[in-house]
Structure 1
Amino acid sequence: MMKRLTSLALAAIVLLAGCSGGTDTQGTQSAQFRTLYDAYRDGRRQAGTPPPAITREVIDSLTVPALEVTVENRNSTAFLVPFSERRDSGPGVVRTWRTGNDVQITLRDGVIAATRGIAFDVGSVDADAAVQAIQTRSPISGKHTLYVKNGDNGIDEIALECEMRTVGHDDLVIVGRSFPVVHLQENCTGWKGVVAFDYWIDRRDATVWQSRQWSGPDLGYIRTRLLKK
């Protein structure tokens, strides 16, 4: 399960940034993250001072991208760094992010494509219409199908019919920096009631700076916030 990490975790990412260029193995990177995080936490305790806040200065000092992820119904937040990036036969770029304890989330141009290590994970997602809407910054409606792990070691297929709309054009502020975004929202049926997917997309280059995405009946809504790309 994704552990609740305060701004201490982001400070640990600052320390880790210099050694997470993608050449080490996943296990080695995770061990480095844990060691650095523990050392930093112990040092702060000995000093008797509170942990640093997440500031724009801290974010700007990072040498790798950083993603904040929150599972709403678990009140659980973590900070992730990139682990891998690839293209496949589907639209967009597939990027996997991970924490120091190996929890992972995979995004396809900002759309959640999979999770690992959270429990009741999203195994995979078919959401080409949503990806195309993000790429064009315009509403494109279509199917959004989730394949979600259940408690019986199986996979449940959740097929949703979605209508995409433009909520508006905003200036989204993330830790002191403003981004011009278009807010697109998918309203989907096919489950018990209506579920939604919200994306705040940079109007200049289609970067998804923030999202709120339904990820199955157990995980519920997952929020993402891109701190540094």
Structure 2
Amino acid sequence: MRTTLIALVLLSGCAQTGPLAGKLDAMIGGNRHPKGPSVIEVTPSALPHAGERLHATIAARNATATLAIEAVNGTVTTWHTADNVTLSFDRGVLVGTRGLGDDLMGAGAEKTLTALAGGNPGPYRRQLRYLDGENHSVYVSAGCTMTAGSTELFNGQRLRRHDELCKTFHQSFTNTFWTDAHGTVRRARQWVGPEVGYLETWR
């Protein structure tokens, strides 16, 4: 019987193109020649959460996946597919991706989390890190503001909506978080980068 640590994956059925699409095909079950189930190796700290699942979509690629927990390191949780695609979140704020192609290598979360908790109503800055074509780190600084919205119903839960508007020298993007009564992020739509676009997650 397959272990619960195997990533459950679903394919949307729509055609995809490009290197990212190829990765996502494998990520969400597009491999037509499976080599058997891939077991996700978890850290001891992740074992109490091994049954939890994260649902994710990348709208620009019409791709959907369900991920399992690989590791918990302090406040950062890393979710893993069977094809080595990982998404890392610091208490619900996206801080890194691997295996998507043009990955977000790192991002600050503290100021966003403070703003989500209502502790920083004014502007603040976030730093995002990417790699260029020569594998050199490229840092993007964004000025952000957080706005709390109304309560919305999602999957039977009443969640508070928060919109984080961020502007860089070249572009702007809006991250949206939905938190429960305890302040936990249950749903989010977050910017990965110009090539990947937005990642939406919920659990």
Q: TM-score range by the shorter chain?
A: 0.7 to 0.9
Residue in 1 aligned with 2:138?
156
Q: Post-superposition shift, 1:126?
A: 1.2
Residue in 2 aligned with 1:193?
171
Q: Per-residue displacement from partner, 1:158-199 (whole Å, max 9, x unpaired)?
A: 1100011012112222xxxx1121100111111433210000
Q: Distance in 2 between matches of 1:94 and 1:145?
A: 17
Q: 1:138 to 1:70 in 2, by over 3 A?
A: farther
1:2 to 21, 24, 34: 24
1:133 aligns to what SS in structure 2? helix
Q: Distance in 2 between matches of 1:150 and 1:180?
A: 41
Residue in 2 aligned with 1:57?
none
Q: Distance in 2 between matches of 1:86 and 1:64?
A: 17
Q: Post-superposition shift, 1:152?
A: 3.2
User: Is 1:22 matched up with 2:45?
Assistant: no
User: Is 1:82 matched up with 2:69?
Assistant: yes
Bigger Rg, which one: 1
Q: Distance in 2 between matches of 1:117 and 1:150?
A: 15
The one-letter code matched in structure 2 to 1:199 is F
Residue in 1 aligned with 2:189?
212
2:193 aligns to what SS in structure 1? coil
Q: Is the 8 A contact 1:197 1:212 kept in 2?
A: yes
Residue in 1 aligned with 2:198?
221
Q: Per-residue displacement from partner, 1:64-123 (whole Å, max 9, x unpaired)?
A: 110111122222221100011121xxxxx1000000111100000101010011111111
Give unmatched runs, 5+ long, in structure 2. 1-22, 30-36, 45-49
User: Is 1:98 matched up with 2:80?
Assistant: yes
The one-letter code matched in structure 2 to 1:145 is Q
Q: Distance in 1 between matches of 2:194 and 2:43?
A: 36
Q: Distance in 2 between matches of 1:171 and 1:128?
A: 27
1:180 to 149, 158, 162: 158
Q: Is the 8 A contact 1:125 1:147 kept in 2?
A: yes
Q: 1:74 to 1:20 in 2, by over 3 A?
A: closer
User: What is the TM-score with the length of structure 1 in the denominator?
Assistant: 0.66
Q: Give the structure with the higher percent helix.
A: 1
Aligned length: 168
Q: Distance in 1 between matches of 2:119 and 2:179?
A: 10
Give unmatched runs, 5+ long, in structure 1. 7-14, 25-62, 88-92
User: What is the TM-score with the length of structure 2 in the denominator?
Assistant: 0.73
